[in-house]
Amino acid sequence: MKNRRVKKDLQASLVLFVLFIVLIILLKTVDVEPLGPQNSEVGLATLNWAVHHVLGDHLVWYNITDILGKIALLTAFGFACLGLYQWIKRKDIRKVDLDILLLGGFYGLVILFYIFFEIFVVNYRPVILETELEASFPSSHTMVTLFIMGSAIYQCKRRIRNKMIKNILISVCFLIMVVTVAGRLISGVHWFTDIIGGLLLGFSLIYLYRAAVRYTDLILKSRQKKNA
């Protein structure tokens, strides 16, 4: 049963990542027009401009999602502290729970994706927030918040036994994810496809993390059976 879950998570992750790559190809080749600030080019221009024109700019939502992003980062810091606590208490990093070690590795992967798309720019923002153009694809705010809160939901399901507390925390995490995605789009600081890119990459990483944790669970149970 769990073997099938690993495969399903891997398949979901792969499909989402392939769609993410396809989106990048489309943005670099289809309907590319200089519609952004300083005549910066944007792919799928007709779609992106139509959505941006309808929604407009609402920077109050930029500030709200910025706060939610900081809450997400604090959540990640909390899990980092949990891993550090286990390391100090158990006096061996190999004795830290594997799902926490994997989570730290995936946080690193998220950072690498962020850096990569800051260097290799696909699209620039539809607005200038400071003094110059900024990379906009994928919406790093969407990607980071989705992964942190999505993986936090998975951790809540694994670690919290009290049903009421678990449901409250899961609901809060889910609400932060939804408001961040919607608010980032409504704010007008991203093109529509930036948000879609952040969703695809964020969920792809969530499914990959779940698959990795479930796979290590299977290995540990198999070893325990052999040693029993």
Whole-structure pTM value: 0.91
Dihedral of CA atoms 111, 116, 119, 120 in degrees, nearest 10, equals -150
pLDDT at position 4 is: 86
pLDDT value, residue 3: 83
Is the predicted pLDDT of residue 129 greater than 90, yes or no? no
221 pLDDT more than 80: no
Whether 1 has a pLDDT exceeding 70, the answer reads no
Total of domains in the chain:
1
Per residue in 174-209, is it b (16+ CB within 10 Å) or e — as a string?
Answer: eebbeebbebbbbbbbbbbbbbbbbbbbbbbbbbbb
**Confidence band for 2, pLDDT divided at 50, 70 and 90:** low
Q: Token digits for 65?
A: 């999602």
Q: What is the pLDDT of residues 33-64, one digit of tens each?
A: 998 888 899 999 999 999 998 998 888 999 99
Domain containing residue 28:
2-42+51-227
